[in-house]
Amino acid sequence: MVAYTGNISAGGKNVAPGAQTLAHLSRVISEVTAPAFLLGAVAAFTSILTLRLHRILDRSHVLNAISDDDTSRAHLKTEIPILKRRVELLSGAILFATICAILTSLLVIVAFASAYLNIAHEHGVAVIFVVALTFFIGSLVNLLRETRVALHEIDRLG
């Protein structure tokens, strides 16, 4: 990202801070394109995580509804602790993805505010972007762990 450290020139005249030109605004918008794509990806990813979580919760409710007297299906309740573990992992993944989205939104706000106030923002924005990506990686790792637990359970039952 390119920061502006002096007054903006509009037709050869210096413009006071806060009075931005269309070209400057256009440059700032182009600079926040990557974070905006990341934000869209994180929103879609969070939707997938939420769907997985709901399916597990639905399965858990069905299993909890099985009566202990139902001897033909009572053995299915052994899945419940594994489902609880999967819920924990997916909840963590959703938390990390949400933090990533918040940080990415903050990054866009900082970029626009810095451009408006003519403040250099490269280092701060870079740090926020790296931290946001770190949380996204954490979310992906939790999804991987949840998937491995699910596959292990299939192998155990299969």
**Residue 150 scores a pLDDT above 50:** yes
Question: For residue 108, how many other CB atoms are within 10 A of its CB?
Answer: 20
| CA dist., res. 119 & res. 104, Å (int) | 19
Which structure tokens are listed for 45?
């990813």
Residue with tokens 């594994």: 82
Would you say residue 155 has pLDDT above 50? yes
Q: Which of 12-16, 97-101, 112-116 has the lowest mean pLDDT?
A: 12-16
pLDDT digits (tens, 9 = 90+) for 86-101: 999 999 999 999 999 9
